[in-house]
Amino acid sequence: MQDNDHADEGTLRLESYMTNVPNPSIFQNGDGRIDGKTDGRTIQLLYSILLGHKNVTREREREGERRERERERERERERREIERERERGRERRSRLFSLDTSLSARSLAR
């Protein structure tokens, strides 16, 4: 495929997306170029297909970003829960130590 076979770079770009079109033969003439004899509906249809593909791609990216944010939130929740458990353990040990100290002091006082 040579560059001079294409009317302009836009045509080349559109043709590069033809592999994503379910039935590309309805959009092309025999020599593989976009059919210039159409009244613009073919180009509009191709543009809407490409735009839809772009929107789907963006939506997939957004969905991936949403999942990543949710995973990050979940990791943060788990981290906070682990920290709470550690703090509870420290409080329990502190209370047990205080109780043990006070019991020891009482037994010594007797």
* Cα 6 to Cα 55: distance, rounded to the nearest angstrom: 27
Tens digit of pLDDT for each residue in 29-65? 544 445 555 555 666 777 777 777 777 788 888 999 9
Question: What is the per-residue pLDDT for 49?
Answer: 78
Question: What is the per-residue pLDDT for 32?
Answer: 46
* CB within 8 Å of 3: residues ≥ 6 apart: 12
Tens digit of pLDDT for each residue in 55-105? 778 888 899 999 999 999 999 999 999 999 999 999 988 888 887 777 777
Question: What is the per-residue pLDDT for 31?
Answer: 47
Q: Are 33 and 1 in contact (CB under 8 A)?
A: no
* Cα 45 to Cα 38: distance, rounded to the nearest angstrom: 11
pTM value is 0.41
* Cα 76 to Cα 79: distance, rounded to the nearest angstrom: 5
